[in-house]
């Protein structure tokens, strides 16, 4: 048996070792932590001698055969025996070394804010479910099954309480839509916002935390899952968010006990001089407070570039009607932008969206140009029954802002604009 394991390992290391995307080789997923913390010995009635034999056999494969194969056939890459794991071995409750899986959010139903507390050296698994595109659901469900209590829909979520968990979080943070299609969109925004909290916390903690690997990229069947891209390649809100969350430059505002800290995170290899522009605004564009400052952006660092107690400022206004907006600029080029709210999304007193838009083609490409008269949250562009993507989606717009989005759709024609739906939060 062990010879067969070794042969299979050799074949696969040879097959995959030239892929540039492989950062390291990992022996297994969650076997070490499962053995140490999940009570398998008791659940299966293993004796001490049984347990000793099983664990010794485990060590032969994952601490013997596999690292030897990697060292022999791909010596330039690191081998890690199990994920999560802590060096030199075992499980570190406080995640002070090795890599860390955090599932207090979702499995533990803890609030998204807990992501900011549980930051390990490398957070290698965390996630949150959302529903796939409406058009993906229609690939396996007729109109009568397009509801949350449908047995057809429930069979396409393999988590035992997946729908209940999504609904619990949504009621906690969002206004819950009554319309099924709008509920789908809201579930994707919920996922994206939660993962945004996690990823920004990981990146702010640089260099203590130097890895953030979310669960999961895509699906192997049409399903309600933790993915950012569904089975047919349709992007959820989360995948659009990722373009900014994992961009080389991130600006991340944090409010705690009335103190506002603005972090600047740079993965760029060189220093830059940038401008930080910050505004406290109402939803109609009135600037209530602003500050602009030039700051050095150091290569490969995360640091606070602005810190101030703003309690007196924000207490002058209804927190449901204001927001904080910040941008990092390299001359006129916006390197990063972000916003911060002072209440949960369900409590925001957002005005009715005032979006003007037009569609046009240029050099054979398709575009939509939008302009908003008020602050507009989570603008969603939807093109029926197509797997194409937009250059940006599920974005917010500040009053007076103009935004041009490329529509990347294979079968579009000059009439593409008539088929696009534009929705804004609350859905």
Of 211, 226, 26, nearest to 129 by C-alpha is 226
Check whether domain 100-245 has CATH 1.10.10.60, yes or no: no
Q: Tell the residue number behind the tokens 């599932």, with chain if given.
A: 103
pLDDT (tens, 9 = 90+) of the chain, 427 residues, equals 999 999 999 999 999 999 999 999 999 999 999 998 899 999 999 999 999 999 999 999 999 999 999 999 999 999 999 999 886 555 566 677 889 999 999 999 999 999 999 999 999 999 999 999 999 999 999 999 999 889 999 999 999 999 999 999 999 999 999 999 999 999 999 999 999 999 999 999 999 999 999 999 999 999 999 999 999 999 999 999 999 999 999 999 999 999 999 999 999 999 999 999 999 999 999 999 999 999 999 999 999 999 999 999 999 999 999 999 999 999 999 999 999 999 999 999 999 999 999 999 999 899 999 999 999 999 999 988 777 899 999 999 999 999 999 998 877 777 788 888 999 998 8
Whole-number Å distance between alpha carbons of 106 and 216 = 14
- The two three-digit tokens of residue 228, written as one number: 């950012």
* Cα separation, 141 vs 157, whole angstroms: 13
Q: What is the pLDDT of residue 92?
A: 61
Please say whether the dihedral angle defined by the alpha carbons of residues 410, 411, 417 and 423, taken in this order, is positive or negative. Answer: negative
Q: What topology is assigned to 249-347 in CATH?
A: Immunoglobulin-like (2.60.40)
| Residue carrying structure tokens 């449901």 | 320
Please report how the helices 162-173 and 180-204 are oriented relative to each other, as an axis angle in degrees rounded to 10. 80
- Contact between 123 and 170 under an 8 Å Cβ cutoff? The reply is no
Long-range contacts made by residues 72-80, C-beta under 8 angstroms, separation at least 24?
A: 73/10, 73/13, 73/14, 73/17, 74/13, 74/17, 74/25, 77/17, 77/22, 77/23, 77/24, 77/25, 78/24, 78/25, 79/24, 79/25, 79/26, 79/27, 80/24, 80/25, 80/26, 80/27
- Tell how strand 100-101 and strand 78-80 pair up: unpaired
- Quick one: 76 exposed, middle or buried, by C-beta within 10 A (0-12, 13-18, 19+)? exposed
Same fold, 100-245 and 355-425: no
**Spatial CA neighbour of 385 closest among 229, 234, 225, 236:** 234
How do strand 24-26 and strand 78-80 relate by DSSP bridges?
Answer: parallel
The structure tokens listed for 32 are 């070490």
Query: Cα(262)–Cα(304) distance, rounded to whole angstroms?
Result: 6
Domain boundaries, the chain: 2-80, 100-245, 249-347, 355-425
CATH topology of domain 355-425: Immunoglobulin-like (2.60.40)
CB 199 within 8 A of CB 246: yes
DSSP state of 352: P
């Amino acid at each position: 048996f062990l010879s067969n394991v070794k042969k299979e390992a050799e074949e696969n290391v040879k097959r995959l070792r030239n892929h540039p995307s492989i950062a390291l080789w990992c022996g297994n997923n969650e076997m070490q932590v499962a053995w140490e913390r999940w009570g398998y010995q008791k659940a299966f009635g293993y004796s001490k001698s049984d347990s000793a034999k099983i664990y010794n056999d485990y060590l032969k494969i994952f601490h013997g055969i596999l690292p030897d194969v990697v060292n022999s056939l791909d010596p330039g890459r690191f081998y890690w025996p199990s994920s999560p794991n802590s060096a030199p071995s075992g499980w570190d409750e406080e995640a002070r070394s090795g890599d860390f899986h955090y599932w207090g959010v979702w499995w533990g139903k803890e609030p998204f804010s807990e992501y900011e507390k549980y930051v390990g050296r490398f957070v290698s698994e965390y996630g949150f479910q959302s529903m796939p595109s409406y058009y993906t659901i229609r690939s396996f469900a007729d109109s009568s099954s397009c509801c949350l209590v449908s047995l057809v829909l429930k069979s396409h979520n393999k988590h035992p309480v997946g729908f209940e968990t999504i609904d619990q979080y949504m009621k906690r943070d969002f206004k819950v839509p009554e319309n099924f299609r709008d509920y789908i969109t809201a579930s994707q925004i919920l996922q994206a916002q939660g993962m945004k909290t996690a990823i920004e916390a990981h990146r702010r903690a640089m260099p203590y935390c130097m890895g953030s690997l979310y669960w999961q990229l895509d699906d192997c069947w049409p399903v309600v899952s933790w993915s950012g891209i569904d089975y047919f390649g349709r992007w959820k809100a989360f995948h659009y968010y990722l373009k900014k969350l994992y961009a080389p430059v991130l600006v991340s505002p944090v409010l705690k006990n009335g103190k506002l800290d603005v972090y600047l995170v740079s993965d760029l290899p060189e220093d830059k001089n940038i401008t930080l522009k910050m505004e406290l605004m109402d939803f109609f564009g009135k600037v209530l407070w602003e500050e602009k400052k030039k700051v050095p952006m150091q290569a490969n660092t995360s640091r606070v570039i602005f810190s101030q107690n703003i309690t007196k400022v924000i207490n002058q206004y209804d927190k449901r009607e204001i927001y904080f907006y910040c941008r990092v600029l390299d001359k006129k080029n916006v390197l990063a932008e972000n916003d911060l709210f002072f209440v949960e999304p369900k409590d925001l007193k957002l005005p009715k969206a005032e979006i003007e838009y037009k569609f046009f083609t240029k050099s054979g490409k398709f575009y939509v140009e939008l302009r908003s008269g008020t602050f507009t949250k989570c603008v969603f562009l939807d093109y029926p029954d197509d797997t194409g993507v937009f250059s940006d989606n599920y974005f917010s717009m500040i009053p007076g802002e103009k935004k041009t989005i490329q529509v990347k759709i294979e079968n579009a024609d000059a009439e593409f604009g008539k088929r696009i739906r534009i929705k804004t939060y609350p859905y």
